[in-house]
Structure 1
Amino acid sequence: MAGKKTKSHPKAEMGQDDRLQAIVLTDSFETRFMPLSYDKPRCLLPLANVPLIEYTLEFLAKGSVKEVYVVCSSHASQISSYIETSKWNFPWSPFKIFTIMSPEARSVGDAMRDLDNKGVITGDFLLVSGDAVTNLEFDKMWDFHKRVHAKDKDHIVTTCLSKATQYHKTRAFEPATFILDKSDNRCLYYQEIPLASSKEKSAVEIDPDLLEGVDEFVLRNDLIDCRIDICSPQVPAIFQENFDYQMLRSDFVKGVLSSDLLRKHVYAYITDEYAARVESWQSYDSISQDFIGRWCYPLVLDSNLMSDQTYSYESGHIYKEKDVVLAQSCKIGKCTAIGSRTKIGGGSVVENCVIGRNCHIGAGCTIRDSYIWDNTIIGNESVINHSIIADKAKLGNNVMLNDGCIIGFNVVIEDSKRLEKGVRVSGTPIKSMDDSALGLSDSEDINEEPQEYAEIAIEICGAKGSGYLYEDPLSEDDHEGPTNEKMISGLSHRLEEACLSDASISSVPKSKKKRTLSTNSVYTDREENPSELEEDEEDFEFEGVATVKRAIENNHDLDTALLELNTLRMSLNVSYHEVRKVTVIALLDRVYHFIATQTLGPKDATVKVFSQWGQLFRRQAFDHEEHVDLMNVIMEEVVEQNFEKPDLILFSAFTTLYDTGILEEEAIYDWWTHVSKDPKFDNVKRFVAKWVEWLQEADEESSSDESEGEEEDQEEDE
């Protein structure tokens, strides 16, 4: 690296606090981003048309960091060249930046041991991965770290954890549970947990000795581990002393917390700010949508992180650079970004997509929920659904990519080809899964004959096409590889696989969750296989929620939404209880959207959504018992979705439905007699209890006035 790369590492000429150091790990030491990470390191892959590492370096620039050490293993020369020519190497950069070559490193543990051998760490340092996307205010975390450090001499790590709801998709990729001391957030135990879709045991087993002296602890699995840690200089030394430590969490953190000899402490800094890692194709998809949706504000696309970017923001979360050429008849939908010099032909529809620079999209194309990187050509009448197309790929006319396809660099696909769900095509042959397959050696000849995991994809690309079919080695044997790893290796996933229970770890199911009903739930009588019934209900919930959400987002009329729901209900033969349930879930999801984006407060958001879309319940609840069941469903889902003010949400939903004439007093009173004494829902009943009491008092006064009126009428008649 020119200039700074050859500088010696400064030692004692500055105080520790004056030059906080940061270590950026650019390699994940995994193959989740194959086949694209075979040609290019993950940290340089574009997310919303910005290289991933730029998000991490922007975060460091806004903090107190003075020195940044970029640790390079896979594709080290590419990363070094990028850093050398980036704005971070200019004299006016907010920090000094160095690249550290660790070509022999095969794990985080190896990289930390290499750092210890090189002696670059002089004090407390920030350890972060090169794929972090966050708007975290680092100074607050740094102050927390210093306060804890002053009180606890055995404190060696402060880890950042971001709170998330049950349905936040980035929770599902590496789920784990933290057991924390409630008084000070000291981490008592750490354990990875399986996904809800797996059949693995989900109990947490902890040595009671680890809880000794702890008055009260909390078990948290509702946290996103963004791998942003402030570490003491002892951390690399502990890795050096324990050569079996390879992973940062499952080995180092768990080992330190469980060790009787080390007796060191890890603390959790818990934040509401956005913080996540692009650790898989699915998290790439989710974080891209969050970024385009401005969840990471003030880190947004139109802040133009790269010096040559010219993005402007339009309503509907649409971003365009200069020199974009759009045909008059093309349609650009919401949540879409388009890079400069890209051309889109007439009649094409592009929605919820990120399109790179210098792309050419033909006429009559339909592209949804996809990511098209720079210099890509897509022929006329092609259909792209939820896929990724890398740089310089070329698709012919009338090509269709189904959900989850990944098209590599320089791939050429002929006209009229159809790619099935989840197909991955590489532009270069990928050999067996040795070190070169991880991209650890840039000197390897990538033109060697393809071996175990690559075959020429003539049937997919065509005789004149170019590309190699990539088969995920985890799919070779269903009995090998962790379940979590198999689930997150692709781009697409099912909703139920991405949702984790917030109630307790023991409630994470071993198989599909069986739906239970309240005592007042109404089912139609039918004789069916119980397993088939559960499967139908699961399918209906997934499709039903999507149907209502689509109606809300596109502002469909109520009759259309009801028709679609009813058709779906009859096709899967489920009860109206399930229809009410999916409607409530979708409405509460919309309420959460307004609150999370700070568009409306909890009360206003609930009133807005339930005033308009609560009218759906008129054709879903027809008698007294079904109205009671509706109230039960709303209460249960408010608790399930873990709102910050659940009592206010529930109160606003009920009062809105009451004011619009959907709920009547008799159903409300009947419902209240069943739940008023149930302690399970105490945290959501505070406002509702006062409201029900007010209704009853109003009824009594009205009855009293009527009886007095009748007596007066009788006296007049006499």
Structure 2
Amino acid sequence: MRQEAQAIVLAAGPGMRMTSLTSHTPKCLLPLGTLPMLCYPLHLLQQAGFSEVSVVVSEGQEQRVGKMVEQYGLKVDLDVAVVSTAHDPGTADSLRQIASKIKRSVEEVVVISSDLVTDVALQDVLDQHRSRGADLTMLTSPTPSLQTTPPGPKSKTHLNSDIICTEAGSGRLVYAVAGGDYDECVTLQSSLLNCAAPLLLSASTQDAHLYVMKRWLFDYVLNKESPCADMGSLKAEILPHIVSCQFTDHSSNDKLGLSGAVEREEWDDLVKKYNSSVVPSRHHSLAHLQPPVCLTFHHPGLCVRANTLHTYWHLNRKINELFNQVYPNSEWQLRHPTAVIHERAQVSEDSVVGGGTVVCEKTNIASSVVGKHCRINPMVRLSASVLGDHVTLASGCVIENSLILASVERKCVIKNCIVTDSNKIEEGKTYSGEVLEATQDFA
């Protein structure tokens, strides 16, 4: 790819909606199949022709992330940027901390979350962005329907859909509210319905957290003189602001009537402040005084963010059938050739076994994911479960519908549980619907 775009993967998030897992492992390194979660957006960018990618990580994770290219056969160079997470920074705060990493020559910036798993053709997104003259393009998709039930205590699992409003036909984004930022009702001004073009208002669509921005808009978002300076969240705060900036009458000071729209006089004032605070460059100038053009690229195919326990579990349970979609043209094998499976062990065709794993005799593995360098001792029964890397299962264990990220070194029965702490396991005990959680934070 020509140096017209730079990609940034946001991987510093603490995973607050899946703390039972992220107290053990950083979210971006949680296994999906036999690969860390971060591999999937990196491979997506690689498929689109990116040879260099900036990855934003939290303190202490730079070495582990930096080794991923060699470990997993990726063909991109990683520029790992470390941000402080002492004050739980939002996505926009993380971008501000690594703003100096953005090369002066690029014309577009692609921002993608490390937890996105999708089979979208990113090149198609870029092509639409360029051909339509967009300043911002947001990837959207239907809110996924999840047929699996995650382990742990029973609870209602509900995926918050975003409220997305677009112009019919053009895909122009005119209104966006993040899921979880509204109750049962959303109030819209009646003037929103008076636009010339028909509008499509959807409550079953998600913002996939993949954005393509023109360089000037990216710089505007990060600039200390812009209204975005005090905004911490790219999705919940900055995106609605940018969308509202579209609706400015270029020939007068009149609003077009959309909620939160920016008046022409206000926009011009923002432009003057912005231009006076940056180094002159064709990439930074807002001299054209045109409000931004925001579009959506709607992808009806696979597009899931593994940012909750439910979606993470769903992707792992389905990874065998989804892998070729989300990781195309790869030599990586889900049943790794270096795995050693005893001839008297039974492993179902839909199970995944990572490299360096040893499966001993008289063991039965059905519809499960087993990570790298695991040891499954004799007479283990493992079904509909997910094991992380370097997990050992003691002889005679019975494990069903469970997520195991720590070794189970004592014979026991585990059903519908999450295990991240080996010390919580007692010999001969039966566990059901529990979270056996790590007591120490990851290093």
Q: Same fold (TM over 0.5)?
A: yes
Give runs of aligned pairs for residues 11-22 of structure 1, distance below 5 A.
17-22=2-7
SS in 2 for 1:219: strand
Consecutive unaligned residues in structure 1, runs of 5 or more:
1-15, 150-154, 306-310, 313-318, 431-438, 443-718
C-alpha distance in 2 between matches for 1:89 and 1:352 = 24
Structure showing greater relative contact order (alpha-carbon pairs closer than 8 Å, 6 or more residues apart): 2
Residue in structure 2 matched with residue 322 of structure 1 by the alignment = 338
Indicate the residue corresponding to 2:69 in structure 1: 86
Query: Hey, what does 1:396 align to over in structure 2?
Result: 410
Equivalent residue runs for 1:552-591 within 5 Å: none
* Identity across the alignment (%): 17
Superposition pairs of residues 360-375 of structure 1, within 5 angstroms:
360-375=375-390
The residue type equivalent to 2:435 in the other structure is: V
Distance 1:223 1:376, change over 3 A: same
What residue in structure 1 maps to residue 80 of structure 2? Answer: 99
The structure-2 alpha-carbon separation of the partners of 1:96 and 1:204, relative to structure 1 and needing over 3 Å to count, comes to: same
Q: Deviations over 1:245-294 (max 9, x none)?
A: 22222212223334422553421101233222211221111112332113
SS at match of 1:220: strand
Counterpart for residue 189 of structure 1: 175
Distance 1:394 1:49 in 2: 19
CA contact (8 A) 2:348 2:367 kept: yes
1:24-76 Cα offsets, whole Å, 9 max, x none, are 11122442332442353211222111111111111111113243211122xx3
Normalising by structure 2, we get a TM-score of: 0.76
5 Å-filtered alignment, 1:496-515, equals none
Residue 67 (1) aligns with residue 67 (2): no
Counterpart of 1:237? Answer: 220
1:246 and 2:232 matched: yes
Alignment-derived partner of residue 393 in structure 2: 378
Shift of 1:211: 4.2
Structure 2 counterpart of 1:43: 28
CA distance in 2 between partners of 1:246 and 1:169 (Å): 33
The SS at the match of 1:414 is coil
C-alpha separation in 2, matches of 1:255 and 1:109: 13
User: How many Å apart are 1:143 and its aligned residue?
Assistant: 0.8
1:221 has 2:200 as partner: no
Contact 2:339 2:353 in 1 (8 A): no
Matches of 1:254 and 1:52, distance apart in 2 = 28
In structure 1, distance between residues paired with 2:405 and 2:72: 27
Note the C-alpha offset of 1:172.
Answer: 4.9
Bigger strand fraction: 2
Q: Deviations over 1:411-445 (max 9, x none)?
A: 4623112223131321x435xxxxxxxx6xx5xxx
Which residue type is aligned with residue 28 of structure 2?
C
Q: Which amino acid aligns with 1:375?
A: H
Residue 142 of structure 1: which of 121, 126, 137 is its match?
126
> What is the DSSP-based 3-state SS (H/G/I as helix, E as strand, rest coil) of the residue aligned with 2:81?
strand
Q: 1:325–1:396: structure 2 CA closer, same or farther, 3 Å change rule?
A: same
Determine if contact 1:102/1:114 at 8 Å carries over to the other structure.
yes
Cα gap change, 1:40/1:383 in structure 2, threshold over 3 Å: closer, same or farther?
A: same
SS of equivalent residue, structure 1 residue 28: coil
CA separation of 1:405/1:65 partners in 2, compared to 1, >3 Å: closer, same or farther?
A: same
Indicate if the aligned counterparts of 2:32 and 2:319 stay in contact, CA closer than 8 A.
no
Per the alignment, do residues 251 and 348 of structure 1 end up closer, same or farther by CA in structure 2, a change over 3 Å counting?
same
In 2, Cα distance between equivalents of 1:220 and 1:40: 35
What is the rounded CA distance, in whole Å, between the counterparts of 1:332 and 1:24 in structure 2?
36
Residue from 178, 191, 204 that aligns with 2:186: 204
Taking a change above 3 Å as real, the CA distance of residues 88 and 157 of structure 1, as seen in their structure-2 partners, is farther
| C-alpha displacement of 1:159 | 1.0
- 1:371: Cα distance to partner? 1.1
Which residue of the other structure, out of 157, 162, 167, is the alignment partner of 2:141? 162
User: Secondary structure of the equivalent of 1:297?
Assistant: helix
Contact 2:163–2:177 under 8 Å retained in 1 = yes
Q: CA deviation at 1:338?
A: 1.4
Corresponding residue for 1:276? 304
Matches within 5 A, 1:258-273: 258=244, 259-261=260-262, 263-273=291-301
CA deviation profile, 1:377-415 (whole Å, cap 9, x unmatched) = 212332212222225x23311x1222142324x546231
Alignment of structure 1 residues 21-40 onto 2, 5 Å: 21-40=6-25
Cα distance 1:368–1:67, how it changes in 2: closer, same or farther (>3 A)?
A: same
Aligned to 2:273: none
Structure holding more helix per residue? 1
Please give the alpha-carbon distance, in whole angstroms, between the structure 1 residues aligned to 2:102 and 2:41. Answer: 23
| Kept after mapping to 2: 8 A contact 1:112/1:236 | no
Normalised TM-score (structure 1):
0.49
CA gap of 1:180–1:42, structure 2 versus 1, over 3 A, is same
Aligned Cα root-mean-square deviation (Å): 3.3
Instruction: Go from structure 1 to structure 2 and tell me whether the alpha carbon gap of 1:38 and 1:134 turns closer, same or farther (over 3 Å shift).
Output: same
Amino acid at match of 2:261: D
Residue of structure 2 aligned with 1:176, choices 162, 169, 185: 162
Q: After superposition, what is the alpha-carbon deviation per residue over 1:144-173, rounded to whole angstroms, capped at 9, x for unaligned?
A: 001221xxxxx4310112346655779953
Relative to structure 1, the CA distance from residue 79 to residue 165 in structure 2 (aligned partners, 3 Å threshold; closer, same or farther) is closer
Asked whether the 8 Å contact 2:117–2:326 carries over to 1, the reply is no
CA contact (8 A) 1:88 1:95 kept: no
Query: Which residue identity does 1:111 align to in structure 2?
Result: S
Structure 1 segment 372-451 matched on structure 2, within 5 A: 372-391=387-406, 393-397=407-411, 399-408=412-421, 411=423, 413-426=425-438, 428-429=439-440
Mapped contact 1:239–1:252 kept (Cα < 8 A): no
Q: Residue 188 of structure 1 aligns to a residue in which SS?
A: strand
Q: Specify whether residues 360 and 18 from structure 1 end up closer, same or farther in structure 2 by C-alpha distance, changes over 3 A only.
A: closer
Which residue does 1:459 correspond to in 2?
A: none
Kept in 1, the 8 Å contact 2:416–2:433? The answer is: yes
Q: Could you list the per-position Cα deviations for residues 628-683 of structure 1 after superposition, in whole angstroms to 9, with x for gaps in the alignment?
A: xxxxxxxxxxxxxxxxxxxxxxxxxxxxxxxxxxxxxxxxxxxxxxxxxxxxxxxx
User: Which secondary structure state, in structure 1, belongs to the residue aligned with residue 372 of structure 2?
Assistant: coil
Whole-angstrom distance in 1 between the partners of 2:140 and 2:77: 27
Q: CA deviation at 1:125?
A: 0.9
Q: 1:294: which partner in 2? A: 322
In the superposition, relative to structure 1, how do residues 218 and 169 fare at CA in structure 2: closer, same or farther (>3 Å)?
farther
Q: Greater Rg, structure 1 or structure 2? A: 1
Deviation of 1:324 (Å): 1.8
The range that moved more, 368-377 or 119-128, is 119-128
8 Å contact from structure 1 (residues 383, 400) kept in 2: yes
Deviation at residue 120 of structure 1 after TM alignment? 4.2
CA gap of 1:72–1:322, structure 2 versus 1, over 3 A, is closer
Q: Post-superposition shift, 1:212?
A: 4.1
Which residue identity is paired with 1:228? L
Residues 56 and 133 in structure 1, CA contact (< 8 A), matched pair in contact too: yes
The answer to whether the Cα contact below 8 Å between 2:375 and 2:392 also exists between their aligned partners in 1 is yes
C-alpha change, 1:264 and 1:88, in structure 2 (3 Å) is: farther
Structure 1 pair 100–362 and aligned structure 2 pair: CA distance change class (3 A)? closer
Equivalent AA in structure 1 for residue 112 of structure 2: V
Q: Distance in 2 between matches of 1:375 and 1:425?
A: 17
Distance 1:369 1:417, change over 3 A: same
Aligned mates of 1:124, 1:46 — CA distance in 2: 31
- Residue 77 of structure 1 aligns to a residue whose secondary structure is coil
Question: What is the Cα deviation at residue 346 of structure 1?
Answer: 4.5
Question: Which of 322, 329, 337 is residue 352 of structure 2 equivalent to?
Answer: 337
Could you tell me how far apart the structure 2 residues matched to 1:172 and 1:128 are? 23
Amino acid at match of 2:207: D
